Amino acid sequence: MGEDKTKEAILRRLKSVEGHVRGIQRMVEEGQYCIDIINQTTAVQAALDRVSALVLERHLQTCVATAIKSDDRAERERVIGELLQVFQGHGSLARNQPAGIEELATETAGQGHKC
């Protein structure tokens, strides 16, 4: 796939995600059923994972391939270091964990959402 087609595919997916997120926002504003909201956020996360895969594929085929073919050792190491940082950063979900059950119960009590 050419770079222009890849870019178009990425932008198309991002626009779709944007619309989907707006829909989730409306669901929250309307107090929709929590599990329905979670299902929709999971779908958005999967769509963003596909965007990341497309961007990574393009990066590997262009920037990384060029750096690896280069005679510049520092550039090769820099690009490899960037990739390692990306994958190490995605390895830990601990920083994105939700609040504890007790905390959530206190925060949501009487807020009128459907559970």
- Span 22-45, pLDDT tens digits: 999 999 999 999 999 999 999 999
Would you list the domain boundaries of the chain? 3-91
User: Which CATH architecture fits 3-91?
Assistant: Up-down Bundle (1.20)
pTM for this one?
0.72
Phi/psi zone of residue 99: left (φ > 0), alpha (ψ -120 to 50 degrees), beta?
beta
- pLDDT tens, 42-73? 999 999 999 999 999 999 999 999 999 999 99
